[in-house]
Amino acid sequence: MSTEHMSGKGYTALRQSVSNTDTEDEDEDDNVARTLDNISKGADRNTETNTVYDKGCFYPLDETRNVANRGKNCRKMLGYCNNDIPIMVIDGDSHLDLWKRREMSLLRRLCLAISILLCVATVLIFLYALPCDNEVTCLVISEQQSPLTWDKTLQGVELHGPISVIPGSPDSLIFLLRGQHYGVNSSGSLKQQQIPSEGGGVLSVQGVSGTPLWWVTLKRLPLEIDCFALDTDGSGKPDCIVAGEKGLLVSIEPTTGMIHWSSAIHTYSKLPVLLPDIDSDGIDDLLSVEIMAESILGLVLLSGRNGQVVGRPLTRDCSSIQIISFNSNVTVSYSCDETNGKRSTKSVPLKELLDTVNSSQVGKKLTSKSQTSLRGFTVSNHDANMYNWELTPFHRLSIQNRETHPDEFYQANINLTLHKVANESHLIWSHVNPNSFAMEPAILTMTGYPYMTGFVIKFWQWPHNEQPERINSSLIKRRLTERVQIVLMNCTEVHTINASQIEIVQLCRDGDCQPSLHLQTRSVAIVDLNRDGTRELISYRSSYDLEKSQILTSQIQIVKLNMEVSKLTQQNVD
């Protein structure tokens, strides 16, 4: 038996042992583990052996049991082998197919597109197709969200004069300013550019938001402004001509606030008359009244390009001269209040005036082109106490403010008449308001509707028999009510609504009041700022607030006019 074992051909039975204890089982497992470990270490040391041990080790991938072949077969068949333990690796790019996005079928694409379109259509139907329960409510809600409804407050200044709308992207608004005369000056929104108390300025704000764009400080009070008639720098866009007290006459760029020129002579406080180009510099020129000395006044020609004197064609001994008109026949009409108390009116051809000027200064030849292109500045009504308008070919508006007291107390009389034929008229609406003053209205035109029109008008009304409050020996305080009214008419049917009502506080000294009644007469305007077909109502007001250290406060306000017109369905006021 021993011979067979040594030759490798016999069979030797393994020793069997059975134990009922856990300790013996654990010892046997430890012996087997040590045996396997010794066999593995022996195989590593015997690198030249061609066969592996056949006790306690099994190599399923190498039937030859050759160590060299085993390592080679592992790398070739599996691509990777470490510590005799095979690891599966997927060859090729076939495994990437698991992560590829499958193409959507045509039917699924069609269903997705239909579902998206259905959602969009539902939203549009709810927004635009379904009617509101109340059309007026829907209109008001949509317009209240408009960015054109805003107000802007300024401190230490009084707003006055006309409202100038400068076209642009977006449009801008230009206002005249007057410095605070009484009370305590405030470091408000114009802190860094304080307006002098005896002077004024020009302010530009953005039309859609009220954001200040620029302001110009003037040592003399501006009274009139026109930003549409004259291009003084040849840029192709008109500039603002500002006239005021103590000979103020300047040209200002409306988009930047840059001053082009300022006249060095003392002219009167009205806007000059616009003349054709008489000095051949490509810019239209100006005709104004020069105050040379007491009771010595005269007509003066000014260059539109630089404001310098071109000539002095006429000098008269007058206490005042007013240029009445300048017609298409190139004739200047003016009135002279003579020192003896008489008033004379004369008309002088422009050519005759130019003949008195040195020929080297003036090009006397007026071409037919210049005569047919005469333009004038927008000048306020000569008599602020009386207005007359032709609203439509059939409607006439007449406003008269009759003075009842020397301290700015008036009675406002407004008549609206319908003219059917040349000599026949019917009074369709009248308004008489004692202790009140009616200011210049803003006309609301209805294109394509000859019988429909309207206007917006502002009233100042003083309390009846109320004595002013005296602050000190020279300063008094007055309280009044400012009311804005909208009047709409369709043929003979007239509707009126109150747009706003607020209390105004005036401070007065020796008849000079602030805010001034006559400086506030053009404080409303109707425009379409964003050109969307709906018009906005622009208004401003100024008032002292004695509860805040006697500070003068001014406010600019813009509202959609349609918002106010919609109140007609809720009010029935005749």
pLDDT of residue 400: 92
Residue 423 clears pLDDT 60, i.e. is over it: yes
395 pLDDT band (50/70/90 cuts)? confident
pLDDT of residue 357: 67
Is the pTM of the predicted complex or chain greater than 0.85? no
Residue 410 clears pLDDT 50, i.e. is over it: yes
Sign of torsion over alpha carbons 238, 445, 528, 455? positive
pLDDT of residue 471: 86
Are 241 and 230 contacting, i.e. CB atoms less than 8 angstroms apart?
Answer: yes
pLDDT of residue 242: 97
Q: Give the residue among 197, 204, 239, 232 at the shortest CA–CA distance from 218.
A: 197
Residue 18 clears pLDDT 60, i.e. is over it: no
Residue 68 clears pLDDT 60, i.e. is over it: no
Highest mean pLDDT among 72-81, 126-135, 414-423, 516-525: 516-525
Compute CA distances 360 → 280, 349, 376, 511, whole Å. 11, 20, 26, 49
391 pLDDT band (50/70/90 cuts)? confident
Highest mean pLDDT among 45-59, 79-93, 374-388, 542-556: 542-556
pLDDT of residue 132: 55
- For residues 1 and 214, the model is more confident at 214
Residue 7 clears pLDDT 50, i.e. is over it: no
pLDDT of residue 198: 86
Tell me which amino acid residue 498 is: N
Q: Give the residue among 497, 419, 425 at the shortest CA–CA distance from 455.
A: 497
pLDDT, mean of residues 85-105? 58
**Structure token pair of residue 11:** 């069979």
Sign of torsion over alpha carbons 57, 61, 67, 71? negative
pLDDT, mean of residues 322-329? 71
pLDDT, mean of residues 346-366? 66
pLDDT of residue 91: 52
Residue 509 clears pLDDT 70, i.e. is over it: yes
Residue 257 clears pLDDT 70, i.e. is over it: yes
Residue-averaged pLDDT of the chain: 76
